[in-house]
Chains A and B, each alone.
Chain A
């Protein structure tokens, strides 16, 4: 790896680890100090490595420098030492020998503790995702802004407000206890689910960034599975779902970023390794009798990895969506269920059901009706695609709808001849 790539890479992989360990040590109310110390170490690295060349082990170098900076900080800052030293039950004398434990185990424990602190229900889901990206994934405000299609200032404010809130609520960064895990794991999984979706469905044109979001969500999810206490059936089901979805990452967009519909995807581009991993975690998820929405979504995604249309496939997908919707309503599930209904029970029935959905402000709803009316009533199909186009906001969505309209025109021509 070239030196210019090494520092951003290390920033992505190591920043979050050291911050987690220091936060674990200091408590969440001193998050900024932890961040400042680690940022300082990276700044020093940028200056020194450029001048003197790379150290033998850059990661170890960063750890040592961060440890020393932490100790210096604690020693020098009397006020801070008084405040924090009390909290971490250390006196200035012991600080000399204080061990800042950057072992793999402590890094993992600290990151897990951080994950549970960040996903505290006192802050909004949006802020939880932002903070996760910032503190657990090492994303800068600019990258987060890019992913959320907003500007850096908005993200800065959002992150700061969330940190302020965690401080005000005196949220502790600690190893979650079993009852805590029971209570909070669901929120943690929701955050990971949203984080993944942000990457998978985001309309940001930055494909590399979007893929990174998905990878980070999977990495954090894997961390839950590697910890005995958080290795639950829903956590496995969620990872399985992410594996199945990401197996289609390469196949689902064209070079312009327009979404390629499932039925038009080149299945040779599907990633078989990820499909097998998804099957593995789905198996792990089926131990125990807890059926979560992630289980249902994972099995739906599993069926989508089967090539071609069979009656069994679409009937299974329809029944899974029926169950999913009875468990929890979402407009996306309602639209997908209606598509599955058209595949399993026929277009006529699906059109009747679709018109009852009451989602006429949603461009995806009109795209669905455009699809259902194609070959049944092409004039109506075009009408719906045009409404969809007028409602769509992102360029990628518009490109997808224009493709559908073009295709409908071809269909019309071939029927006239």
Chain B
């Protein structure tokens, strides 16, 4: 079994309305049902973390810019780690991620190099 990092990306809109508690509840259920399903197959290594949208980027020469979204409106919103036989299987699992319907985001699937 290999391990894969799933990077969840979403578009950051500057004037996004704050979701209602009901919307948050509904979105949480979709994420939890998806992660729970992966865990039920014993394929979840870590449910990872979700990230705040605010951040800084540090570049050579002490250049600091606001926000992760310098070149693109997309930003990393979180990550999880899976266990799968192959990149294909990890990709297949990622197709069930609620990020597509919830926030028009995407999932990057990367195999982790064992150390």
Contacts and interface: CB of A to CB of B under 8 A. Distances in A.
Contacts of A323: 32, 36
Interface in B11-43: 29, 32-33, 35-37, 39-42
Nearest to A330: B42
B44 A358 contact: no
Interface string B34-68: 01110111101001000000000000000000000
Given A334-B41, A357-B40, A326 B33 contact: no
Interface in B61-101: none
Contacts of B39: 322, 325-326, 329, 334
Nearest to B32: A322
Binding site of B, secondary structure by majority: helix, strand, loop or mixed?
Answer: helix
A353 B32 contact: no
A337 B41 contact: no
Contacts of A326: 35-36, 39, 44, 47
Contacts of A321: 36, 40
A318 B42 contact: no
Contact of B32 (A319, A329, A358): A319
B70 to A, nearest CB: 33
Nearest to A341: B33
A183 interface: no
A333 B41 CA distance: 10
A338 interface: yes
Contact of A353 (B40, B42, B44): B40
Contacts of A322: 32-33, 35-36, 39
Contacts of B42: 329, 334
Contacts of A337: 36, 40
Contacts of A307: none
B33 A345 contact: yes
A326 B36 CA distance: 6
A318 B41 contact: no
Nearest to B33: A322
A318 B40 contact: no
B47 A353 contact: no
Nearest to A329: B42
Nearest to B93: A356
Contacts of A329: 39-40, 42, 44
Interface of A: 315, 318-319, 321-323, 325-326, 329, 333-334, 337-338, 341, 345, 353, 356-358
Closest 5 CB pairs of A and B: A322-B36, A325-B39, A334-B40, A329-B42, A322-B32
Interface of B: 29, 32-33, 35-37, 39-42, 44, 47
Given A318-B36, A329-B44, A334-B39, 5 more contacts: A319-B29, A319-B32, A322-B32, A326-B36, A326-B39
29 contacts: A318-B36, A319-B29, A319-B32, A321-B40, A322-B32, A322-B33, A322-B35, A323-B32, A325-B39, A325-B40, A325-B44, A326-B36, A326-B39, A326-B47, A329-B40, A329-B42, A329-B44, A334-B42, A337-B36, A337-B40, A338-B40, A341-B37, A345-B33, A353-B37, A353-B40, A356-B37, A356-B41, A357-B40, A358-B41
